[in-house]
Amino acid sequence: MRRLDLPLVALAAGMVLATPAFAYRPFDGTDGDVADPGEFELEMGPAQFLSSPEGRYIMAPATVLNLGVAPGFELVIDFKDFVALHPDTGQPRVRLLDSDIFLKSVLRRGTLQGEAGPSIALEAGPLLPEINGVSAFGFAANLITSYRWDALSLHLNTAAALTREHNMEGFLGLILEGPHEWAIRPVAEVYTEREAGSDAKYSALGGPIWQVRDRLSIDAGVRHAVQADSGATEVRFGITWGVGL
């Protein structure tokens, strides 16, 4: 849902940064749960690497801030510091991109909340103007449906957006997680998205999440995205840390 206005990195942005930054590391989508009231959660990728036909880039950091503001409601703030390793002469090397503010709410309590049936949540809010990127507003909304079994958790993300360029875009993604009780569980994500007037983009991610303790986890993942005849690869590594305020 985000695209740089610089010709050199247009494809990289369209394939890698043009995804909804709904909060759940290391994925592009999210799950159907929210932080408890008064709980603050930091999700950070201190140095994520992107290689595309246009060049190589570091996102340092990629940051998501989550705060439980009321029972069933969470405030989400997101941004990425996007650094070109080999910038073109005259182009900004550092750009603060993918900035947005979302409100996430649980519409139906289910297995993620320790109850029966699917967990359903809605996350929506404005896409904010970027620094050295697209200086305009957009809007995104994502309906998340999650279900957890003993051996598998699934999270279906169905999102729509009005991009900063004022184009309509759709996103459909599925997250798969191994047994939630495992200290280290395998995870994967597949998604497709399409902006009006552009080719569809497809992405696949795989990696592990290590649950170090109750409010601390470490994640890693490799994602490959394709659009038409071009591809991009991204390496992700980060932490999720929660604390009660």
- Which pLDDT band, with edges at 50, 70 and 90, does 12 fall under? very low
The three-state DSSP-derived secondary structure of the chain is CCCCCCHHHHHHHHHHHCCCCCCCCCCCCCCCCCCCCCEEEEEEECCEEEEECCEEEEEEEEEEEEEEEECCEEEEEEEEEEEECCCCCCCCCEEEEEEEEEEEEEEECCHHHCCCCCEEEEEEEEECCCECCCCCCEEEEEEEEEEECCCCEEEEEEEEEECCCCCEEEEEEEEEECCCCCCEEEEEEEEEEEECCCCCEEEEEEEEEEEEECCEEEEEEEEEEEECCEEEEEEEEEEEEEEEC
pLDDT in tens, 174-223: 999 999 999 999 999 999 999 998 999 999 999 999 999 999 999 999 99
pLDDT at 21: 58
69 pLDDT more than 60: yes
What global pTM score does this model have? 0.88
CATH class of 7-244: mainly beta
Q: What percent of the chain has pLDDT over 90?
A: 74
70 pLDDT more than 70: yes
More confident residue, 100 or 93: 100
Task: Give residue limits of the domains in the chain.
Answer: 7-244
227 pLDDT more than 60: yes
pLDDT in tens, 138-177: 999 999 999 999 999 999 999 999 999 999 999 999 999 9
7 pLDDT more than 60: no
